[in-house]
């Protein structure tokens, strides 16, 4: 068990030019969750995690707004101008100069790194009484990566960038993954010695390794078991690839836990969604955000479940149904072509095909909730205009627009009286036929 406090520094200042977007790279999303959010969640899950510091730069106000809204106790520090990774870490020094613990440095565009891996990384650093630990990985084709150089005794001696590597060094397959764990009191001095004497005139964090080796400090490397975890996002193509990787892991986890997913190739389910045993997910279902789905449900095909859905047991969600921030209790059916948003739906409710909960007021910008209690029924093509409550065992007639509460066991109907014009079609056809002669 660790007894050291841990602070993390997340590097999130870059624009991400290859993303071809005005949005900061770290705010691009997978399953509606920004890349930075995945990294913050992972570092926050480490035992003894004490504080997260996010280094922001491009569109700093947007990144800071996201962080402040979603991660209490996380500090944002601006790097301007952006003079390299070493300079980015230096921006945090005034806030942690007297810190006695471990500091980890992670990139904000690596959403696949897991909290489990980071915890193992820190534990390795602690067990080896290291002053500096570099996360590394082994690639059959290590092109474009900095190489981990060891001496004949297998001791870590340097990181050599590919452009500076000789033929022998280029053959090394162990590479620098770009994640660091530092015993802060031992390594803080390295940052005052960083130099920008290079072609880019930038300060590189990799230079702290050379400094630590020259000081005869204990420098270690932790070899990553799953290379996918350090996959960095630099383009929209990378974003799509990372989405597929996360989705595959999520689907495999769910199937291992007893969920039947008919077609994994066309199904997307966020890692934060929990689904119970014997639930069937039909093709072309998309589930994003944090949701809970019970046992023995049937979802889809072509359903979309958004963030904040809590779905009970034995629930049926039909094809082309959208669910958002709603609670749906046991044994309820939501039929095809329906939208259920910001709603509390009881048990044994039948939502008829094409039912819409109209939850948004475009003038006030307020989203109101719909309450449909146990045993109630909505007919096909109903519109329920929130805020409104449909009480127990009430029934809404097909085609109705409901704007007032409906009392228990009653029928609500707004349908206009039916009028039938006898022989209207026949007379119309005779007129048209006569006009063409």
Q: Please write the tens of the pLDDT for every residue from 25-35.
A: 999 999 999 99
Confidence of residue 2 (pLDDT cuts 50, 70, 90): confident
Q: What is the pLDDT of residue 197?
A: 83
1-10, 124-133, 169-178, 249-258: least confidently modelled range: 1-10
* Residue 154 pLDDT grade (very low, low, confident, very high; cuts 50, 70, 90): confident
pLDDT digits (tens, 9 = 90+) for 266-296: 999 999 999 999 999 999 999 999 999 999 9
DSSP calls for 65-106 = HHHHHH-TTEEEEE-SS---HHHHHHTTHHHHTT--EEEEEE
**pLDDT tops 50 at residue 405:** yes
Q: What percent of the chain has pLDDT over 70?
A: 99
Measured distance CA(109)–CA(89) in Å, rounded? 16
Asked which of 53-57, 156-160, 215-219 is least confident by mean pLDDT, the reply is 156-160
Sign of CA dihedral 113, 16, 273, 283: negative
Instruction: Indicate if the pLDDT at residue 161 is higher than 90.
Output: no
Is residue 158's pLDDT more than 90?
A: no
pLDDT of residue 264: 98
The answer to whether the beta carbons of residues 193 and 208 sit under 8 Å apart is no
CATH superfamily of 5-230: Spore Coat Polysaccharide Biosynthesis Protein SpsA; Chain A (3.90.550.10)
Q: What is the chain's mean pLDDT, rounded?
A: 95
Whether 125 is a known active-site residue: answer: no
Query: Which candidate in 28, 58, 125, 336 is catalytic?
Result: 336
Query: Which residue intervals of the chain bear CATH 3.90.550.10?
Result: 5-230
367 touches 347 (CB < 8 A): no
CA dist., res. 328 & res. 335, Å (int): 13
Contact of 28 with 19, CB cutoff 8 Å: yes
Residue 195 has φ and ψ, to the nearest 5°, of: -120, 150
**How would residue 186 be classed by pLDDT, with cut points 50, 70 and 90?**
very high
Count of residues making up the chain: 437
State the helix-helix crossing angle for 35-44 and 115-127, rounded to 10 degrees.
Answer: 40
- 210: enclosing H helix or E strand: helix 207-214
The residue-averaged pLDDT of 131-143 equals: 94
Residue 437 pLDDT > 50: no
The tokens of 60 are what?
């700093």
Cα separation, 42 vs 384, in Å, equals 40
**Residue 54: pLDDT above 70?**
yes
Are the C-beta atoms of residues 376 and 405 closer than 8 Å to each other? no
Question: Which CATH number fits the domain 236-412, given the four candidates 3.40.50.620, 2.160.10.10, 3.40.109.10, 3.40.190.10?
Answer: 2.160.10.10
- Residue intervals in the chain for CATH 2.160.10.10: 236-412
Q: How far is CA 135 from CA 63, 72, 116, 120, 165, in A?
A: 26, 28, 14, 11, 19
- The pTM (predicted TM-score) of the whole model is 0.92
- Beta strands 29-30 and 33-34, pairing class: antiparallel
pLDDT score of 1: 62
pLDDT level of residue 416 (50, 70, 90 thresholds): confident
């Amino acid at each position: 068990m660790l007894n050291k406090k841990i602070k993390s520094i997340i590097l999130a200042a870059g624009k991400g030019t290859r993303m071809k977007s005005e949005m900061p790279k770290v705010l691009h999303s997978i399953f509606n969750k920004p890349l930075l959010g995945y990294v913050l969640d992972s570092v926050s899950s480490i035992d003894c995690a004490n504080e997260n510091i996010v280094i922001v730069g491009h569109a700093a106000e947007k990144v800071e707004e996201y962080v402040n809204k979603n991660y209490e106790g996380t500090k944002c520090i601006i790097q301007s101008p952006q003079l390299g990774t070493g300079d980015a870490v230096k921006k945090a020094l005034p806030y942690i100069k007297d810190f006695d613990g471990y500091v980890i440095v992670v990139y904000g565009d690596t959403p696949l790194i897991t909290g489990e891996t980071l915890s193992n990384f820190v534990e390795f650093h602690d067990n080896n009484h290291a002053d500096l630990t570099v996360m590394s990985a082994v690639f059959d084709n290590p092109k474009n990566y900095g190489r981990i150089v060891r001496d004949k005794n297998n001791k870590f001696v340097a990181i050599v960038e590919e452009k500076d590597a000789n033929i022998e060094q280029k053959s090394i397959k162990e590479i620098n993954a770009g994640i660091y764990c530092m015993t802060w009191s031992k390594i803080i001095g390295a940052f005052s010695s960083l130099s920008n004497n290079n072609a880019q005139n930038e300060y590189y964090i990799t230079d702290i390794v050379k400094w630590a080796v020259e000081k005869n400090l204990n420098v270690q490397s932790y070899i990553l078991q799953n290379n996918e975890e350090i996959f960095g996002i630099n383009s929209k193509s990378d974003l799509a690839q990372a989405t597929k990787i996360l989705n595959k892991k999520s689907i495999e986890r769910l199937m291992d836990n007893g969920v039947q997913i008919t077609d994994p190739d066309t199904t997307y389910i966020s890692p934060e969604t929990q689904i119970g045993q014997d639930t069937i997910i039909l093709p072309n279902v998309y589930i994003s955000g944090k949701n809970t789905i019970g046992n023995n449900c049937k979802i889809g095909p072509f359903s979309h479940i958004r963030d904040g859905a809590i779905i009970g047991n034995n629930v049926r969600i039909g094809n082309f149904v959208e669910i958002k921030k709603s609670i749906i209790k046991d044994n309820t059916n939501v039929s095809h072509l329906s939208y259920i948003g910001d709603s509390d739906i009881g048990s044994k409710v039948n939502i008829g095909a094409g039912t819409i909960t109209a939850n948004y007021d475009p003038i006030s910008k307020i989203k109101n909730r719909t309450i449909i209690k146990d045993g109630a029924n909505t007919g096909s093509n109903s519109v329920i205009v929130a805020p409104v409550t449909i009480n127990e065992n009430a029934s809404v007639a097909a085609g109705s627009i409901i704007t007032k509460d409906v009392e228990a066991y009653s029928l609500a109907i707004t349908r206009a009286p039916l009028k039938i014009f006898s022989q209207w079609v026949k007379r119309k056809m005779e007129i048209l036929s006569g006009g063409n002669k």
